[in-house]
Amino acid sequence: MRLATGAEAIRGDLPASATAAVDVPLEAGDAEGTRIRRLSTIRLVRERLTAALAEVENERGGTPIVIGGDCGVAYAPVEHAAQTRRVALLWLDAHPDAESAESSPSGAYTGMVLRHLVDDGVLHGSSIVLAGVRDASAAEESFLAEAGVRVQDDPAGIAEALLATNADALHLHVDLDVLDPGAFDAAHSTVPFGWSVEQLLTTVREARSALPLVGASIAGFAPDDAPGADMSGDLATILRLIGALAKPA
């Protein structure tokens, strides 16, 4: 529910003419015999996102930015972009989100998205650049090495790493927990020793200088939903991020 509150708060600060809402079912969903919690709902949201992306592309053009929810929202726009372009994926996150259904301790899909993009054949691991990671399991580290995912510790090397993928377009995903909790305290899963807001914005600019942006996603805004809760500082950060992504190249 905090993620829903965050999505609605962001939407309230954006022009209605530039946004399209994707309904998320309130029901929990079913695992469908797997170890992925709420898989049926996750699949339904993905289908709705895919349809919305196609509609927005046909009616408005431009670069779609999917905003709100957890990192599961990134699958549909990455898949959408990869259908027509040779896409590099820059994944900015405190976690690699590379668990399998078997290795995940929680069964939460948000921790499996990157792994599924590779396992499902949407992207090759060598097309992915991962940065900002501070909390990875042994299973995730093993997968990243085997898949050839580039893990970039220094934001200054992002552009070079993206160019090394030999892609011709960029999808940029931001989980807001890439930021340090001192700079952004309403992330869904905070991890200390993260990036500053300026580091994040500089990284976005560097990435966009390397490859043309064809899609983006922002996830993990989960503010306190108590009446009177002050979201202003974190919302201002998100709006700056959206501006950096939406600004014409």
CA 170 to chain centre: 13
User: How many residues in the chain?
Assistant: 249
Tokens of 73: 């929202």
What single string gives the DSSP state of each residue in 89-149?
EEEE-SS-----TTT-SS--GGGTHHHHHHHTTSS-GGGEEEES-----HHHHHHHHHHT-
Distance between CA atoms of 95 and 45, rounded to whole angstroms?
A: 22
3-state secondary structure 155-217: HHHHHHHHHCCCCCEEEEEEEHHHECCCCCCCECCCCCCCECHHHHHHHHHHHHHHCCEEEEE
Tell me what pLDDT residue 228 has: 66
Tell me what pLDDT residue 58 has: 83
CB 196 within 8 A of CB 183: yes
CB 246 within 8 A of CB 215: no
The domains of the chain, with CATH numbers, are 2-246 (3.40.800.10)
Q: Note down pLDDT in tens along the chain; length 249 residues.
A: 899 999 999 999 999 988 999 999 877 789 999 999 999 999 999 999 999 999 988 888 889 999 999 999 999 999 999 999 999 999 999 999 999 999 999 999 999 999 999 999 999 999 999 999 999 999 999 999 999 999 997 778 999 999 999 999 999 999 999 999 999 999 999 999 999 999 999 999 999 999 999 999 999 999 987 776 688 999 999 999 999 999 987
The dihedrals phi and psi of 243, each to the nearest 5 degrees, come to -60, -40
pTM of the model: 0.96
Tell me what pLDDT residue 177 has: 98
